[in-house]
Structure 1
Amino acid sequence: MNTERPATDAPREREPNEANVRALVEAFYRRVDDDPLLGPIFSRALTGRWDEHLAKMTTFWSSLVLGSKQYRGNVQEAHRPIDDIEPRHFARWLSLFLNTVEARYEPAAAVQFMEPALRIAHSLQLSKFGWEYQIPVEQQELLAALKRQRTGGAPEPRFPERPDAEPFPAKFIGTSADEKSR
């Protein structure tokens, strides 16, 4: 992987576009490759495939942030074969990614990357460590703060109050297993 460093005094982007999304992905993965905690994991998974991965990640982030809808893949399945991931790896990945985004984009544009990154990490963490896993409080607070920033500080919509242990109202469509066996 190329280890050339981007200029640190470059102005931050006001809006994402294909070119600066590609530059973000390349800068971020240079940092990942150089990172003592994440580098070995990514190196094992991507040896000989870095270019393919960078192209896929550029397509992925362009799909999310620019709405290009070109990404075809399953995020959960792509990460399933990586066995040696621990919670500290997620924390480090998020830190590197959020810092890279923040250095490259103005705040309003940065949120467009940060919020999905936190949501994806949350989903991957629960998938990897089980539904009982407690997402770190700092990660939850950051996601809430980003959501407030994106929505202009508007309060989050509230669900109707329910007595304790009352199931969330839902209408199920289809045939139950009991009905099928009759």
Structure 2
Amino acid sequence: MNHDPSTAAVTREREPTETNVRALVEAFYRRVDDDPLLGPIFARELTGRWDEHLAKMTTFWSSLVLGSKQYRGNVQEAHRPLEGIEPRHFARWLSLFLNTVEARYEPAAAVQFMEPALRIAQSLQLSKFGWDYRIPAEQEALLAALKRQRTGDEPEPRFPERPAAEPFPAKFVGKPVDER
């Protein structure tokens, strides 16, 4: 994947467009590629296919957020063959994604990405770890706050307080790798 060395400040968008969705996807996956936890997994799965993946993810998010309905695929099936995925990987993915969205979009626009991201993550977590898997309370609380904001019960989402650069607040549920 090609890394953009520029660190220019990004203006927060008021609404998603095809252009800024593409920019979001590219910025997010640069962060994923650079991440010490997620980078090796994505590198293993996407070597030689980054451009294809970025195009597919742009289509996916455009379909969800802009209603373009161009995405043709099965999210569950696409993630089923991934080996070595643990709860901490979901927490880190959510942290990177939500922080990237929050930095690039005004709150009302950010919700359009965050709510589906949390719902998809929840579905993938339950599929991967079993129906008795407990979704982290912080993840459920954020989803509820986003829903309240979307329905007008709350003017802006109240994100859980966290120190600067702190990842998405999530307790890792399940057994540590060394106890399996």
Give the alignment's TM-score, normalised by structure 2: 0.84
Aligned to 2:85: 85
Q: Deviations over 1:43-92 (max 9, x none)?
A: 00001000000000000000000000000000000001101100000000
What is the deviation of 1:38?
Answer: 0.2
Alpha carbons of 1:78 and 1:6: their partners in 2 closer, same or farther (altered >3 Å)?
Answer: farther
Aligned to 1:164: none
Alpha carbons of 1:5 and 1:61: their partners in 2 closer, same or farther (altered >3 Å)?
Answer: farther
Percent of matched pairs sharing the same residue: 84
Gaps of 5+ in 2: 155-180
Runs of 4+ deviating beyond 3 Å? 5-8
- The 1-side partners of 2:144 and 2:8 are apart by 29
- The 2-side partners of 1:65 and 1:8 are apart by 25
Q: Deviations over 1:115-143 (max 9, x none)?
A: 00000000000000000000000000000
- The 1-side partners of 2:97 and 2:6 are apart by 15
Aligned to 2:110: 110
- The 2-side partners of 1:137 and 1:69 are apart by 32
- The 2-side partners of 1:48 and 1:130 are apart by 32
Which structure 2 residues correspond to residues 77-156 of structure 1 after superposition, within 5 A? 77-153=77-153
Give the alignment's TM-score, normalised by structure 1: 0.83
Alpha carbons of 1:8 and 1:149: their partners in 2 closer, same or farther (altered >3 Å)?
Answer: farther
Aligned to 2:69: 69
The 8 Å contact of residues 62 and 68 in structure 1, kept in 2 or not, is answered as yes
Aligned to 2:170: none
What is the deviation of 1:5?
Answer: 4.3
The 8 Å contact of residues 6 and 27 in structure 1, kept in 2 or not, is answered as no
- The 2-side partners of 1:153 and 1:26 are apart by 32
Gaps of 5+ in 1: 155-182
What root-mean-square deviation, in Å, do the aligned CA atoms of Structure 1 and Structure 2 show? 1.0
Q: Which amino acid aligns with 2:101?
A: V
**Matched residue pairs, number?**
154
